[in-house]
Amino acid sequence: MKLKSVILIVLLFIGNVVFAEETKKYETITLTCPMASTPFSYFDDDDGQVKGSSIDLWRLWSEKTGIKIRLIPKIFQPAIDMVCSGEADAYAHYTRPDGQESCLTEVITLRNEYAYYFYHRGISVIKSTQDLKGFKIGVIKGTAPEEYLRKHLPDAVPAVYPGGRAMFDALSKKEIFIFLHQLQPALWLLKKYGLEQNFRFDTQMPLYTSTLSAAVKKGNTGLAEVIRQGMNLITADERASIERKWNITPVKTEDTLVISAPINIPPFMFLNTEGSPVGMFADIWKLWAQKTGRKIGFLQADTRKTGIEYVKTGRADIQGGLFYNSEEYEGMSFPPSFYEAGASIFFPLKYGKVSGIAELSGQSVGAVRGTYQERYLKKSHPDIRVAEFDSGEEMIYAARDGKIRGFISLSALAAYDMSRLGLSGEFGSLPGSLYTGRFSSGVLKENTELMSAVDKGFDLISNRELAEIEARWIPDPEKQYYKSRLNKIRLSAAEDSWLKNHRTLRVGVGTAFPPFQYMENGEFKGIASDYIDILTKRLGIRMEIVKNVSSFQQVLEMA
């Protein structure tokens, strides 16, 4: 056995012994939790029980560690004060206020959650936060949304409520028409109050991300380690089961495939104003389901990383549309790509035209943080200063206002966003594409059966059907991918893999069999030649003719 393996085993053994000894110190811990943080934790008036996804997670932690928990539901700050004063041992799911010091220390991340503005259907579409000026905006007292509103939109009129019930009562009575809240809690409460059809939100305007973490008082390292290791005992399937129970997402059953849907790449996939996944990829998957007879449901993924984690943790079966880069996605397998999209740099015309990327050397060009476009610029054009942004909208406005010279984006995504913001006529782009990326679905590498099922399902869909779907979402024929591929052949995963490693095929043919195959002025001619030309175009490969072959037997011997 190698020395490294022996050392690893010894360290794991020591760690387990230490963990076992630490757990013996805690027969019961007191856990505080927010009493009105649906669906994470809340007090149910009907039966007097504390419920929620975080509570279920902690109860499972209790089973794993053998440590009992005593729950004390409180409002946000009093719950924190109990841990700081020593009246409680831990906080169920803590979100640190932006930039503030705290007596608590985060132990382990439980989940991440986006926050949005939700607005009544009677209000015209809000294109930016500036459109919110003058409106009364509902927030809950002492929460991150209230802090965000006061800090980032000082011209707004905060309508502050003591709790979720009071705010949603005000929404029901039409006392306010806009509120700021985290996504899952908002969807839960809108559904509870029968308001889900009355309010909408823009998935392209996420305001911030909250990280929910288990937390203890600073310095309580022993309990912190017990909590961390206990949470790590919870399997991906167990976490997924809890998430499915509480999130407003499709329920995964044996006959339903859950597809992780990226919600921020319009027109490919995004949420409509009712919060449902729509777009070109959504329509393609619906057609796939129709062709295969499989039931599907969509699970919203706010980031590329989140979508992958949903598959890896079992919350989803398939990643529904990934800008494929094999280096990034360890443990995943990808059927052949089902779409390709080009990227370019866009610039505001009022500051002058940019004819080539070399003109941008030394200048600032925007990219959305964490995207392949950002990595591409930094790697391929290090002479360009990359300005990172949290959203495409923020980036486009920065370019319009002259804060950056331009921005990089997928062309279809940029066209959609600029049209939505009413800025299409103000921007130009570099000629052609900087690169073309492939979109593919993704499944766990060990799930070969599902990989095969996905692949075979796409074999049932014709390029003409895909072209019809694309035309609904990208009406400009010059920007349509499938229009030029109507006669192309779709390959299976195995065929695609083989051809990637054999980009040039050598074809041995007899040259003395006119009109089927013969030589004329040193060129290969005949019916076989025409077929080879067709295959070359449809497969996207190169076929090299091996000349001076006199018979079929000789071809076999050379193969």
Q: What is the pLDDT, as a whole number, of residue 385? A: 96
* Contact predicate 40/53, CB 8 Å: yes
- Kindly state the tokens that stand for 35: 């009493």
Please report, for residues 201, 355, 363, 384, 425, the alpha-carbon distance to residue 379 in angstroms, rounded to integers and kept in the order given.
35, 21, 16, 10, 31
- Kindly state the tokens that stand for 363: 């200048």
* Contact predicate 399/346, CB 8 Å: yes
Q: What is the pLDDT, as a whole number, of residue 325? A: 61
Q: How far is CA 365 from the centre of its chain?
A: 23
Enumerate residues 6+ apart whose C-beta is below 8 A from 290.
none
Q: What is the pLDDT, as a whole number, of residue 409? A: 95
The whole-angstrom separation of Cα 184 and Cα 182 is 6
Return the closest-CA partner of residue 148 out of 81, 212, 78, 95: 95
Enumerate residues 6+ apart whose C-beta is below 8 A from 227.
61, 90, 107, 108, 214, 216
The whole-angstrom separation of Cα 22 and Cα 385 is 50
Place of tokens 């279809």: 412
- Quick one: residue 422, left, alpha or beta (phi over 0 = left, psi -120 to 50 = alpha)? left
What one-letter code names the amino acid at 338?
Answer: F
Q: What is the pLDDT, as a whole number, of residue 88? A: 93
* Contact predicate 93/37, CB 8 Å: yes
- Kindly state the tokens that stand for 483: 């229009």
Alpha helices in 121-163 (DSSP H): 144-152
Q: What is the pLDDT, as a whole number, of residue 307? A: 82
Return the closest-CA partner of residue 399 out of 418, 420, 380: 418
Q: What is the pLDDT, as a whole number, of residue 3? A: 44
Q: What is the pLDDT, as a whole number, of residue 518? A: 74
The whole-angstrom separation of Cα 323 and Cα 352 is 31
Q: On the CB side of 346, how many CA atoms lie within 13 Å of its CA? A: 28
* Contact predicate 73/50, CB 8 Å: yes
What one-letter code names the amino acid at 334?
Answer: F
The whole-angstrom separation of Cα 146 and Cα 180 is 8
Helices and strands (H, E) in the chain, number of each type: 18, 30
Domains and CATH numbers, the chain: 17-109+217-243 (3.40.190.10), 111-210 (3.40.190.10), 249-331+444-474 (3.40.190.10), 340-437 (3.40.190.10), 502-558 (3.40.190.10)
Q: What is the pLDDT, as a whole number, of residue 300? A: 80
The whole-angstrom separation of Cα 508 and Cα 361 is 49
Helix (H, G, I), strand (E, B) or coil at 71: strand
Q: Which of the 8 DSSP states describes residue 474?
A: -
Question: What is the pTM (predicted TM-score) of this model?
Answer: 0.57
Q: What is the largest CA-CA distance in the chain?
A: 95
Helix (H, G, I), strand (E, B) or coil at 11: helix
Q: What is the pLDDT, as a whole number, of residue 9? A: 42
Torsion of CA 397, 400, 404, 405, to 10 degrees: 140
Q: What is the pLDDT, as a whole number, of residue 271? A: 79
The whole-angstrom separation of Cα 493 and Cα 324 is 14
* Contact predicate 417/266, CB 8 Å: yes
- Quick one: residue 500, left, alpha or beta (phi over 0 = left, psi -120 to 50 = alpha)? alpha
DSSP bridge partners of 322: 440
Query: Quick one: which H or E segment has residue 231?
Result: helix 221-232
pLDDT tens, residue order, the chain (559 aa): 444 444 444 444 444 444 455 566 788 999 998 887 888 888 777 777 888 889 999 999 999 999 999 999 888 788 889 999 999 999 998 888 766 778 999 999 888 888 888 988 888 766 677 777 778 999 998 788 888 888 888 888 899 998 888 999 999 999 999 999 988 888 888 888 888 888 888 766 778 888 889 999 999 999 999 999 999 998 876 887 787 777 665 445 557 888 988 877 889 998 776 667 889 999 999 999 999 999 898 888 877 777 888 888 777 899 998 876 655 677 788 888 889 899 999 999 999 999 999 999 999 999 998 888 999 999 999 999 999 987 888 899 999 999 999 999 999 999 999 998 899 999 999 998 999 888 889 898 888 889 989 999 999 999 899 999 999 999 888 888 887 766 665 666 666 667 667 667 777 666 666 777 777 777 777 777 777 777 776 666 777 777 666 666 666 666 6
Helix (H, G, I), strand (E, B) or coil at 29: strand
Q: What is the pLDDT, as a whole number, of residue 1? A: 44
- Kindly state the tokens that stand for 548: 């001076």
Please report, for residues 29, 35, 80, 226, 517, the alpha-carbon distance to residue 32 in angstroms, rounded to integers and kept in the order given.
10, 9, 8, 17, 82
